[in-house]
A and B are shown apart, each in its own frame.
Chain A
Amino acid sequence: MAIRRIVILGGGVAGWMSALALGRALAGCAIAIDLVETEGPDHSIGPFGPGESTLPAFHKFLGDEGVDEDALLRASRGTFALGAAFSGWADRQSAWFLPFGDIGVGMGTVAFSPLVARLRAAGHPVRPTDFSLAAVAAAAGRFARPSLDRRSVLSSYGYGLHLDKAGFAGMCRTQASGVTHHAAPFARAIRVANGHVSALELVGGEQVPGDLFLDCSGPAALLCEAHGFESWSAWLACDRVVERATQQEGIPPPYTHAAAHPAGWLRSVPLAGGPSEAMVFASAHHSDTAAIEIHQGRRTRAWHGNVIAIGAAAALVEPLYGHNLHLVHSAIQRLVTLFPTRADGPEAAEYNRITAEEADRVRDFVIAHYKTNARTGEPFWDAARAMSVPDTLQYKLDLYASRGRMPMYDEELFDRAEWIAMLDGQGLHPRRYDALADTIPEPAIIQHVTRLREMIVDAAKAMPNHGATLAQIGAGA
């Protein structure tokens, strides 16, 4: 049976992003889209505060779906992001930054990180992010959109956004066309003999029939009882969150902040008017009666029968970065690429293979932050350092520790440079570096990095203040 009716469950960010993107992709295909609300707050990408950050790749979603970035910033208390700052994740005093964009420039075929290692071995203290324009500008509170001229240093970085989820969902909703919205919330799923969902019944008794259902209901995963769940609690011990919004005047910083504390970490997503915060922690080490319980992990099969889980219904990984919105975007793109001709075709298996791999790679990236911590004497952190991690991650850590190389698997969201920057930030220095780095004379390397540093500092100095850029587009107030 061909797909003629798609029903989206959940009117949060994940649901409305899906509605917008599918509505546009399916325009002219005679496929009806319905959206059914669920009760309660929007936890469709997890309960991590009213704000969310995006990764640079998210611009593709906005561009493809025709969302004007300036209007979005105005509608969602938006600010710009040049990366993520981490404090207290290595030892308690440590601070490092994962920038969006290049870190340094290699020489010939020798990448920048072996050059850094070579200089360090010769006794020069080098912080790689001093050679990242995004990192330097972020530290100075400056922001301008990058240049498209690839020869310019101003094209060496990308940026993400900080958005109020409600504002973003509202914008998606305004722009979604051809979607039938049902105000009465979901009551139950009606299933047929083979386990497929045939309709959603709403409070009040109305039934919304469909051929394909997208479960965007968040961690509750209301339609996914049969999809299986793989828990990651052995590696990601945080299982509670307290969300809060703080009013604050002044110019928001152009980066997200993750501050480690003795039993977890505090997330701060800067929004105009004050940050969105989330205290993420492990209940075994801290308690707070206001906390929401979370279970990190993923559905064994994101797509099962005629139900596809999207967002936190599919996978929940604590938001050290803006990956949760990215995973929604990527799921929708994948669904469009693999759009089924019938509800039980072979597309689901391929969809699930890619979805699982993608989520597992994000999981590994996040676990690495815990595994490599240097906060000794705190039971939560001591346990994290001592845990055994997935083989895929251990192999990466081993190869990096040995010679600064990072093996990459299919479906990696974070790229090689980001992995290396993160581990370097955590204070891990490889035992060896690429032999080819020794073929370049040390004075030539010093000259190269000195010039780079000057260029970056000059470029950052010339950038407008983050607040000025926001004011120019009418956002930030």
Chain B
Amino acid sequence: MLVKRVLVVGGGTAGWMTAAALSNKFRGSPLEIRLIESAEIGTVGVGEATVPHIRHYNATLGFDEAEFLAATKGTFKLGIEFRNWGRLGDSYIHPFGAFGQDFAGVPFHQHWLRMRGKPGVAAFEDFSLPVQAARRGRFHHPSADPASLLNTFNYAYQFDAGLYAKFLRAYAEARGVVRQEGKVVHVSQHGETGFVEAVTLDSGERIEADLFVDCSGFRGLLIEQTLGAGYEEWTHWLPCDRAIALPCPNDGPPPPLTRSTAQKSGWVWKIPLQHRCGNGHVYSSNFISDDGALETLLGAIAAPPLADPNKLRFVTGKRKRQWVGNVVAIGLSSGFLEPLESTSIHLIQLAIGRLLDFFPTGEWDPLDAEEFNRVMVLEYERVRDFLILHYNATERDDSEFWNYCRTMDLPDSLRYKMELFRERGVVVNYRDGMFLEPSWLAVYLGQNVLPNAHDPLSERLSDDDLMAAMADLRARYAAAAEAMPAHLDALAAAA
């Protein structure tokens, strides 16, 4: 075995997700997995909301949903509501699911674009079951039956990331992962290869390993501070650089969705859990002071805070190389994309999957790292573009922050996608990248990026036929949403 010992540096969500997955996949192999974490160093854990892929991770590890929800105080999530993004007063939901269904071989949104504005034509969101359920505060598990309307969506969770890490820790330790308390004070490298050989803890203990997973957070203890992988900044596209997190009690039954409300110089998240509500303000220090940002947050939350504000600083971007030598960066050490679309945990999960695919074996071949880096760069860039769309597609001109975002230069990879959509509603598809057509549609249309024309092939159907089909579909979505239990009842039933 080339790699006999893996050392995960850092606990938190990234560290424990990695350790748990490795301990599961390498069950029955002599691979030793250790994790170092320090109680002194807090974990960031802003990523309390997830995307549906998390269910695949949980299923692979064999988690029981009820047990997981109970342990993490989790709730169900059907999407994200965006308020005040395109214009003040706007609200749309980016759901985990499709909009409408194709008629006459033409995508639904093309028909909707053709009919919109005509009397009696409903809003785009009326044609999404998860949106309709979320608006009503209702939830039901999707159905596996492709003929069912309940087959048109997916769901994720909102949970306490600290409790999730604890849950994963118990799982990993039960499978032989050794946790070590301590702070890394020194890193030893091989004189010629630069490979990391060992870390020394504040206790003086030296821990050797063959492969190191850097889950140390923003600073990138191994990947950056030791190996100098370099960082590509994206602050000119994603200018937010600070966040304040502040939990408060729920102000009512928790809805099955995360909310993001745009502010003058950033946005405020609201993530309902079973026992409390996570809140935070992500903002740009170029446009608002820390005190101003805290004031904004306090004004936006529903109830008095339950804890002191947790202040974070970050630089949006990604590590130029996320795998260097025998060090693989997973989590915030690999890059930071703000939590606007709950992608942090997903990017962790992707990196773990790719690490398993390219787990060093036989010989150290730099191609393992090269392919890992190639795929992760694509994923990061595509998430980045999707996030930039939220900031750029706005008509808001009520602050310097929005004036900047509205008029900033875009990456070419995003600009041409937006041009094609503006022209005639075509969404560009690709192989690697987590956001698919319905996601792009939700944000484009939710933020008033409206095409100049629709697909001419929609004209195959007459106005009357299309109106009737759309009215029928809308009624079916409404009825299906109405028939679902309230979110809390669904949670209770799942427990």
Contacts and interface: CB of A to CB of B under 8 A. Distances in A.
Interface string A22-33: 000111111100
Interface residues of B, number: 42
Question: Which of A30, A350, A440 has its CB near the most chain B CB atoms (within 10 A)?
Answer: A350
A409 B28 CA distance: 34
A64 B104 CA distance: 11
Given A399-B371, A410-B430, A439-B26, A405 B358 contact: yes
A402 B360 contact: no
B457 A26 contact: yes
Nearest to A25: B457
20 contacts: A26-B460, A30-B459, A338-B426, A339-B455, A346-B419, A346-B420, A347-B420, A350-B426, A399-B371, A403-B361, A403-B368, A407-B374, A409-B431, A410-B432, A411-B431, A431-B362, A432-B363, A435-B3, A436-B25, A436-B26
A398 interface: yes
Given A347-B423, A350-B420, A438-B361, 5 more contacts: A339-B457, A345-B424, A432-B361, A435-B1, A436-B25
B356 interface: yes
Interface string B89-127: 000000000000000010000000000000000000000
A431 B60 contact: no
A341 B426 CA distance: 12
B378 to A, nearest CB: 9
Q: Which 5 residue pairs of A and B lie closest in terms of their CB atoms, listed nearest first?
A: A432-B362, A435-B361, A28-B460, A435-B359, A341-B453
A446 interface: no
A345 B361 contact: no
A432 B365 contact: yes
A22 to B, nearest CB: 10
A402 B358 CA distance: 11
Given A109-B25, A408-B431, A341 B460 contact: no
Interface string B19-34: 0000001111100000
A445 interface: no
Nearest to B417: A350
B26 A347 contact: no
A64 B461 CA distance: 18
Contact of A399 (B26, B28, B367): B367
Interface in A317-343: 336-341
A339 B455 CA distance: 7
Interface string B436-476: 00000000000000001101110111000000000000000
B456 A341 contact: yes
B351 to A, nearest CB: 16
Interface string A139-158: 00000000000000000000
B416 interface: yes
A428 to B, nearest CB: 15
Contacts of B28: 439-441
A143 B22 CA distance: 43
Nearest to A30: B459
B357 interface: yes
Question: Which of B2, B25, B430 has its CB near the most chain A CB atoms (within 10 A)?
Answer: B25
A435 B456 contact: no
B479 interface: no
A71 B431 CA distance: 36
A187 to B, nearest CB: 31
B172 to A, nearest CB: 16
Interface of A: 2-3, 25-31, 64, 109, 336-341, 345-347, 349-350, 398-399, 402-403, 405, 407-412, 431-436, 438-441
Given A407-B371, A432-B363, A347 B431 contact: no
B495 interface: no
A2 B457 CA distance: 12
A402 B459 CA distance: 53
Contacts of A441: 28
A29 B456 contact: yes
Contact of B363 (A28, A109, A341, A431): A431
B428 interface: yes
B423 A346 contact: yes
A405 B426 contact: no
A434 B357 contact: yes
A26 B105 CA distance: 11
Contact of A25 (B1, B26, B105): B105
Contacts of A27: 460
A340 B426 CA distance: 11
A346 B419 CA distance: 8
A339 B110 CA distance: 12
Contacts of A64: 105
A347 B371 CA distance: 32
B416 A349 contact: yes
A434 B26 CA distance: 12
Contacts of B419: 346
Contacts of B3: 435
B457 A336 contact: yes
Interface in B242-277: none
B36 to A, nearest CB: 23
Contact of A436 (B356, B371, B453): B356
A64 B106 CA distance: 13
A338 B425 CA distance: 10
Contacts of A339: 455-457
A121 to B, nearest CB: 10
B359 A436 contact: yes
B363 to A, nearest CB: 7
A347 B455 CA distance: 11
Given A341-B456, A346-B420, A436-B359, A402 B365 contact: yes
Contacts of B371: 399, 405, 407
Contacts of A341: 423-424, 452-453, 456
